[in-house]
Amino acid sequence: MSESKHLPYEINPKKDRNHYYETLWKEVALDLLQKHEPDVSELTLLDYGCGRGETMDLAARRGMKCVGTDLDPHCVELAEKFGEAKVLDVEDPVGQFGENSFDVVVCFHVLEHVPRPLETLIQLRKIARKYVIVAVPNLSRSRDFIRRRNWDIPVNEGHLQSWDHSHWRNMAENHAGLEVLEWGFDATVVLPISNIILKIFGQRAAIRLETGLFRRLWPYGSISVISLMRERKDASQDAEDPS
């Protein structure tokens, strides 16, 4: 079995639009938070799976007090440029950080990699005082319907599961004790049109189209399922926790 690709330790958003979108979904999620909490300057934030630390940087620029955590010690070192960062105790993150210890817990493009995403989502809910914000790859993002074969080849070999918006809502609201307050949408890639625009007119034109017209026409086909959530008032932590 081949090893899955690791998160790159460096990205270049100016040259690679996929790298550009790695920053975009973080910005969209934080904009969504600020829509519901206009003054975020006093909020604390835990970035669960902080990677290189870009979310910590973006949140700190908005005045938030940030802590990052990741399994990879090198990612923790990279994230320390933007604030406090710790190696994650994946077996007991609630014990590591404490219940209701951060106003906001964010987790961007991480849950698709973990073997028990529901358990992890419940743990995030327990750590958060106010909001949980999650972004995961969108299973319903547009497909290339011109392609006639190789539909069943493995993709995203580091991913263990995936969701569309309806299945994410089901897991979050019916099983994890959360309620989805609002969705965020990053960019909608429409193949093969996006690749044709990219080849002929370049990256800037493709980004304008995918974050403009395509996103307006097909928001639920966007790259990420981005959800701003809070704990349901009737959530029963003991009954819902599968551990």
Kindly state the average pLDDT of the residues 23-30: 97
Name which residue leads in pLDDT, 104 or 236: 104
Structure tokens at 37: 């909490």
pLDDT at 66 over 60: yes
Q: Using one digit for the tens of pLDDT, what is the confidence trace for 171-209?
A: 999 999 999 999 999 999 998 899 999 999 999 999 999
What is the percent of the chain with per-residue pLDDT over 70, rounded to a whole number? Answer: 88
pLDDT at 236: 61
Kindly state the average pLDDT of the residues 148-164: 76
pLDDT at 12: 74
pLDDT at 97: 98
Domains in the chain with CATH codes: 17-138+159-187+222-240 (3.40.50.150)
Task: Tell me how far apart the alpha carbons of residues 49 and 223 are, in angstroms, rounded to a whole number.
Answer: 19
Please give the mean pLDDT across all residues of the chain.
90
Given a contact cutoff of 8 angstroms between Cβ atoms, the answer to whether 197 and 209 are in contact is yes
pLDDT at 67 over 50: yes
pTM above 0.75, yes or no: yes
Residue 61 sits at φ, ψ, to 5 deg, of: -65, -25
DSSP-assigned states of every residue in 143-197? --TT--S-TTS--STT-S--B-HHHHHHHHHHTSSEEEEEEE------TTHHHHH
pLDDT at 157: 75
Kindly state the average pLDDT of the residues 152-161: 77
pLDDT band at 156 (very low <50, low <70, confident <90, very high): confident
3-state secondary structure of 131: strand
pLDDT band at 216 (very low <50, low <70, confident <90, very high): very high
Task: Tell me how far apart the alpha carbons of residues 103 and 97 are, in angstroms, rounded to a whole number.
Answer: 12
Q: By mean pLDDT, which of 43-52, 69-78, 144-153 is the weakest?
A: 144-153
Q: How many CA atoms lie within 13 A of 33 on its CB side?
A: 28
Q: Using one digit for the tens of pLDDT, what is the confidence trace for 74-127?
A: 999 999 999 999 999 999 999 999 999 999 999 999 999 999 999 999 999 999
Q: By mean pLDDT, which of 44-53, 152-161, 165-174 is the weakest?
A: 152-161
Task: Tell me how far apart the alpha carbons of residues 86 and 147 are, in angstroms, rounded to a whole number.
Answer: 44
